[in-house]
Amino acid sequence: MSLAEAPVAETPAAPARATARLLRSELRLVFGRVRNIVLLAGLAAVPLLIGTVLFITQDTPVAGQGPPFLDRVTGNGVFLVFAALVSCLPFLLPLCVSIVSGDAIAGEAGAGTLRYLLVVPVPRTRLLLVKAFAALAYAGAAVAAIAVVGLVAGAAFFGVGDVVLLSGDTIPLAEGMVRTLGVVAYVIASLTGLVAVGLFLSTLTEVPVAAMASTVVVAIVSGVLDALPQLSAIHPGLLTHHWLDFGEFLRLEIDASTLLAGLAVQAAWVAIFGALAWSRFTTADVSS
């Protein structure tokens, strides 16, 4: 059979199988890179480090001082998950997500492999979606690594039990675990906008470091602007403004409107920068 006849012989399921193979290959690429593995290990070490420090200093005058939730960790190890996420969200998590999403397209272009991917042939829209899914999967793995190690370390150092909410009400441990899963899911969803930004910037250059750095800068600038009360009018639309709203899961009555507002902002960033990435990638003249 000639190459020209191959498309005619394709079964309806062939594109789905090709997409699945492409996705498996991309996930192996993302999670198989030593750099990305080291980043995951570094994130996982954060709750372990925090837990160790709190365990050593729990009977000293500085016990409980630090980021939100830190003063509750020694009373219930579950709070180590929240304390670690609060510690990682301002910089470490955005850095890791920026590195992977910024490298998604630019890394292939810089290495000279993007052209060969496109002549397989792989539809550009499909390739972009696969790259986006892999980057988001990595973001999910990063958050999960912090949460799992935080929960294990918290249980080992301080034990776990019924969860005392921010309002002072107490809920059973089982319900606390469900709310912890909600926190993890919300944090992952809060990083989708940053993934879209990184993917778009990755389509603009063949230098992956430039795309990575630019994505990190977007997150940092958003955080800086969010800290300026003079710009309160634009705060609700900033990429990072709602990142810490997962605290709603630790209230007796969860304010769904607050969480939905945060998700809506991320959806808007995904829609805008996802469309820009698609427009750029599907029309660009790929020569490398």
Between 80 and 4, the more confident residue is 80
Q: Would you say residue 116 has pLDDT above 80? A: no
Q: What is the Rg, in whole angstroms, of the alpha carbon atoms belonging to the chain?
A: 21
* Local confidence band at 17 (pLDDT 50, 70, 90 cut-offs): confident
Between 134 and 109, the more confident residue is 134
The SS3 of residue 170 is strand
Q: Would you say residue 24 has pLDDT above 70? A: yes
Output the pLDDT for position 287: 58
Average pLDDT value for residue range 35-46: 97
Cβ pair 70, 116 in contact under 8 A? no
Average model confidence (pLDDT) for the chain? 90
pLDDT in tens, 143-158: 999 999 999 999 999 9
Q: Would you say residue 281 has pLDDT above 70? A: yes
Among 108-117, 140-149, 232-241, 271-280, name the one with the lowest average pLDDT.
108-117
Output the pLDDT for position 60: 72
Output the pLDDT for position 251: 93
Output the pLDDT for position 64: 60
Output the pLDDT for position 94: 96
What is the residue extent of each domain of the chain? 14-283
* Local confidence band at 14 (pLDDT 50, 70, 90 cut-offs): low
Q: How many CA atoms lie within 13 A of 283 on its CB side?
A: 6
* Local confidence band at 44 (pLDDT 50, 70, 90 cut-offs): very high
Q: Sort 34 into a burial class: Cβ within 10 Å, 0-12 / 13-18 / 19+.
A: exposed
CA angle 269, 274, 280 (to 5 degrees): 135
Burial 197-215 (b: 16+ CB within 10 A, else e): bbbbbbbbbbebebbbebb
Q: Would you say residue 113 has pLDDT above 80? A: no
Amino acid making up residue 187:
V
Average pLDDT value for residue range 14-35: 88
Q: Would you say residue 10 has pLDDT above 60? A: no
Output the pLDDT for position 8: 43
Query: Which tokens belong to 184?
Result: 């993890």
Output the pLDDT for position 7: 45
Output the pLDDT for position 176: 96
Output the pLDDT for position 9: 45
Cβ pair 55, 61 in contact under 8 A? no
Among 154-158, 168-172, 202-206, 282-286, name the one with the lowest average pLDDT.
282-286
Output the pLDDT for position 2: 40
